[in-house]
Structure 1
């Protein structure tokens, strides 16, 4: 099998898988559920979920680690006398986004370009789905209740407060 034929076959299979995923989205009419499935742990960016699970003054670092895993970034305030620190979780560092970044390292420039184009098309599809939900009155207000960055502030290993943006 020639190199060009193998490359074409690989690209064709990738596009077939993508078409199957998009077809599944069209059949379920809910792209949000698919993206939530691919982005496991995304509930930590949902304000309603956080209000139920994080209790300032009571929830500890150990409990946060157990619920959400290791943070993307950890900072310690060295000037504080009360051992203040904060943890940041970023949606772009996990789930589907993480796998896409990893995939970009191991594919040819042509395939990388096709992946970027496909990602742009998926973004457009998500925008259309959101617009349709708004127009039909079925929108859940997701954009106001979810963020892409969660920062949790601690004092002496106990949650002081958190922010989602």
Structure 2
């Protein structure tokens, strides 16, 4: 699965703290670590060449290929894929409930997210946010 979602660690806060140093890490280094962003914005009113890159977990890896697959399979197969996905989601919910009851779960909001936005000034990281 990791080969389908290379760079998935970019949504893990602890990993980001180790890999990105505001004021030092460059766009080129971010591109080498995480690949091309889902979207890129340039602040044209800025005098210091400000921009930001957004990475969306839903736009990469297995999620991306599942979206593509729905376009090319029959309606019946697509519905089966949605049903399977729903069942997996329910199973994940049960697993989350079990780990929260046993006290083994870290709150996801503190450890990782599904969107990463990296803000740059002159091609150097200013700061980043994970949601």
- Find 2:113's aligned residue among 122, 147, 150: 147
Q: 1:126 to 1:39 in 2, by over 3 A?
A: farther
Encode CA deviations 1:2-55: one digit per residue, 9 max, x unaligned: xxxxxxxxxxxxxxxxxxxxxxxxxxxxxxxxx767533211000110011100
Structural RMSD (CA): 1.4
Question: 1:67 aligned to 2:46?
Answer: no
Q: Give the secondary structure class of the aligned counterpart of 1:150.
A: strand
Structure 1 Cα separation of the partners of residues 83 and 121 of structure 2: 44
Q: How many residues align?
A: 131
Distance 1:116 1:144 in 2: 29
How far apart are the structure 2 equivalents of 1:126 and 1:108? 27
Q: Return the TM-score normalized by structure 2.
A: 0.94
Give the whole-Å Cα distance in 2 for the aligned partners of 1:77 and 1:90. 20
Range with bigger deviation, 91-100 or 139-148: 139-148
The 1:154/1:164 distance shift into structure 2, 3 A limit, reads same
Structure-2 residue corresponding to 1:6: none
The separation in 2 between residues aligned to 1:84 and 1:155, in whole angstroms, is: 5
Matched, 1:156 2:122: yes
Q: Which has the higher contact order (CA 8 A, sep 6+)?
A: 2
Relative to its length, the structure with more helix (as a share) is: 1
Deviating 4+ runs (over 6 angstroms): none
1:123-138 to 2 correspondences below 5 Å: 123-138=89-104
Q: Structure 2, unaligned stretches of length 5 or more? A: none
Distance in 2 between residues matched to 1:110 and 1:50, nearest whole Å? 41
Give the gaps of 5 or more residues in structure 1: 1-34
**TM-score, scaled relative to structure 1:** 0.75
Bigger CA radius of gyration: 1
Query: Is the Cα contact below 8 Å between 2:6 and 2:34 reproduced in 1?
Result: no
Counterpart CA distance in 2 for 1:82 and 1:116 is 46
Counterpart among 81, 92, 96 of residue 47 in structure 2: 81
